[in-house]
A and B are shown apart, each in its own frame.
Chain A
Amino acid sequence: MKAQGADAGAVRRALRLLANVGPSAQAAIPGGYAWAMTVAPAAFGRGAPWIAKAVALVGVLALLSAPWVEGWKAEPRAEAEPPPPRTLAGLVERVRTASSGAWARAWSVWGLVLSSALVWALVPGALAATRLDNVRGILGMAGWALFAFTSAAPALPRDRARAELVDDGSPLKPRSSVARGDGAYIAVVLVAVLAMQTIGWGVGNPERAVLVRVVTLAAGVALLTSATTVALARHATRVPASRKLRMRRATPWLALLCVLAGSGIAFAMLR
């Protein structure tokens, strides 16, 4: 129990330290990693034009200079102030009064993403399966995912005035806990979804390689969504449906599944 408390304290201290670094600096770490894994080999590889090298360096510059942009203008919009209307004048007002954090995030995200896209467009052969190592591709993908996550939801600095109102040691209880079995549902499906991402890295044709990635990503999203629905449905207050209704609802889909499975088996046997 004491060890658990010490662990929680250490995690809290680490998160506080990370939050004090600033959102742009946090995003620069996974962004730099993703850049090193997927952009640098393309831009600085054999046969890459000088313009690709220059554009790739712009991406690094965006990441490194974003923390400086963040500290450039320190007055964010007042919380009580209503947002400007969704007109051209409102848009101009939004841009004019945007906080330094918003500018830094835009510069960091768009600077890196656009420069990387331009590098890949200038050196299209760099992403071919014959030149891209499987492990490096997967690690690069994880780096981009972390960069997106850190840019969208960085650890925020502690608001001292508000923090004083909350007693860290107060016995706050969560409103609800994750029901037993839900974690297993999601964990199993998550493993299946991640395993699906390992398929198709050796495809030689770039168009087909992209198609395989798109299909596996779409299948993964669909699986996760359905798994969540199925897991949550176990806890819903069950209103018993009549036998007729259940039959009418489930039969078409199950019948279609049986027809598809039967025709697949028949086709495989005839071939």
Chain B
Amino acid sequence: MHLLDVLAALLLTAAAAAFAFGAFALARADDVEAFYFLIVGAVALRSSVQVVRPGAGA
């Protein structure tokens, strides 16, 4: 397992946690916090995929 795979898995876990925090904040009607966590989740998710993308055709 490469170091990049570990980083991607960590970023995926961070994205899941951020989405969960965002959903909790949305349920509490704390819209700013929800928006913040959902953006963090989306960026973490995108980063996790970018990190494992192969070199060719990038």
Contacts and interface: CB of A to CB of B under 8 A. Distances in A.
User: Chain B at the A interface: mostly helix, strand, loop or mixed?
Assistant: helix
B45 to A, nearest CB: 5
B10 to A, nearest CB: 11
A205 to B, nearest CB: 8
Interface residues of B, number: 39
Given A199-B20, A212-B27, A223-B16, A241 B46 contact: no
Contacts of A246: 55
Contact of A195 (B20, B26, B38): B20
B39 to A, nearest CB: 7
Interface in A216-271: 216, 219, 222-223, 226-227, 229-230, 233-234, 236-242, 245-246, 249-250, 253-254, 256-257, 260-261, 264
A21 B29 CA distance: 48
Contacts of B23: 196, 199-200, 212, 215-216, 219
A260 B15 CA distance: 13
A237 B49 CA distance: 16
Contacts of B56: 239, 241
A257 B27 contact: no
A11 interface: no
A192 B49 contact: no
B1 A215 contact: no
A253 B52 CA distance: 13
A226 B54 contact: no
B5 to A, nearest CB: 5
A219 B41 contact: yes
B19 A196 contact: yes
Given A226-B45, A249-B58, A264 B52 contact: no
A226 B15 contact: yes
B22 A223 contact: no
B15 to A, nearest CB: 7
Nearest to B51: A250
Nearest to B29: A208
A247 B38 CA distance: 25
Contacts of A227: 12
Contact of A189 (B16, B42, B43): B16
A257 B47 contact: yes
A8 interface: no
Interface of A: 181, 185, 189, 192, 195-196, 199-200, 202-203, 205, 208, 211-212, 215-216, 219, 222-223, 226-227, 229-230, 233-234, 236-242, 245-246, 249-250, 253-254, 256-257, 260-261, 264
15 contacts: A185-B9, A196-B16, A211-B26, A212-B23, A219-B23, A226-B15, A230-B52, A234-B5, A238-B54, A239-B56, A245-B58, A253-B50, A256-B43, A260-B36, A261-B40
**What are the 3 closest A-B residue pairs judged by CB atoms, nearest first?**
A241-B55, A233-B52, A200-B27
